[in-house]
């Protein structure tokens, strides 16, 4: 039996609204077919994220495509990316530690809002948490300028082809994945994380580590 991973939202009631709203019997068929996509846009926006157009669409059955089908204990996709300094960095380099893989971009306002919180938590937990900030398909120059502006000390990785974000099924920015010390996905979050949410997620992972 598998367990769906927890997913936080700034406004979880918006997601549930689709279940209780009355049917739009008078709406044109085209609008009804687009309704799932529109609801996905509302939910992601409410959570503080920006939907990426390349991964959004409706399935033949009329549902919204969603790559977030991870279950507790599922191995995280392995990857190796170049850092801003030109050093290859692999997820497996940090086996034995909790890793926060955060997908972001400099043009994404919610990404900008959560970065200082990630920096504070990473500084407070140097032995327990590693943040890998994976920039999505941008040139190194603006990324380096962003990192300097925000004083980021954790590794900034360049997903220049978008292969890693695709492997994780990322459809909106920011998206964050908490990886346990055994390299398994513990939880994920769509939208911006604040400091308290990051600390809570870290604590949840730490509580599952065998003593």
pLDDT in tens, 148-179: 999 999 999 999 999 999 999 998 999 999 99
Percent of the chain with pLDDT over 90: 61
Residues 101 and 91 sit within 8 Å (Cβ to Cβ): yes
Q: How many Å apart are CA 182 and CA 153, to the nearest integer?
A: 24
Q: How many Å apart are CA 104 and CA 152, to the nearest integer?
A: 14
Summary count for the chain: helices (H), strands (E): 6, 10
pLDDT in tens, 100-126: 999 999 999 999 999 999 999 999 999
The average confidence (pLDDT) of the chain is 77
Instruction: From 184, 150, 151, 196, select the one nearest 71 (Cα to Cα).
Output: 184
Instruction: From 186, 170, 168, select the one nearest 3 (Cα to Cα).
Output: 186
Rg over CA atoms, the chain: 18
Strand-pair category, 50-51 with 80-83: unpaired
Going through 18-124 in order, the beta strands assigned E by DSSP cover 50-51, 80-83, 88-90, 98-104
């Amino acid at each position: 039996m598998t367990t769906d991973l927890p997913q936080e939202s700034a406004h979880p009631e918006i997601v549930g609204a689709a279940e209780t709203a009355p049917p739009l019997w008078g709406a044109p068929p085209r609008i009804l077919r687009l309704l799932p996509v529109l609801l996905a846009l509302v939910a992601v926006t409410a959570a503080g994220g920006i939907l990426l157009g390349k991964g959004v669409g409706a399935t033949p059955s009329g549902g919204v495509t969603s790559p977030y089908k991870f279950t507790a204990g599922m191995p995280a996709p392995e990857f190796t990316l170049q850092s801003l300094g030109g050093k290859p960095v692999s997820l497996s380099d940090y086996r034995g530690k909790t890793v926060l893989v955060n997908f972001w971009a400099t043009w994404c306002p919610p990404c900008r809002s959560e970065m200082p919180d990630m920096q504070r938590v990473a500084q407070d937990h140097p032995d327990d948490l590693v943040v890998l900030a994976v920039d999505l398909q941008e040139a190194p120059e603006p990324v380096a300028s962003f990192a300097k502006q925000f004083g980021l000390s954790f590794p900034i990785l360049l997903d220049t082809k978008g292969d890693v974000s695709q492997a994780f099924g990322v459809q909106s920015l920011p998206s964050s994945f908490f990886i346990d010390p055994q390299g398994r996905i513990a939880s994920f979050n769509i939208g911006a994380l604040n400091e308290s949410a990051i600390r809570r997620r870290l604590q949840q992972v730490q509580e599952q580590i065998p003593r």
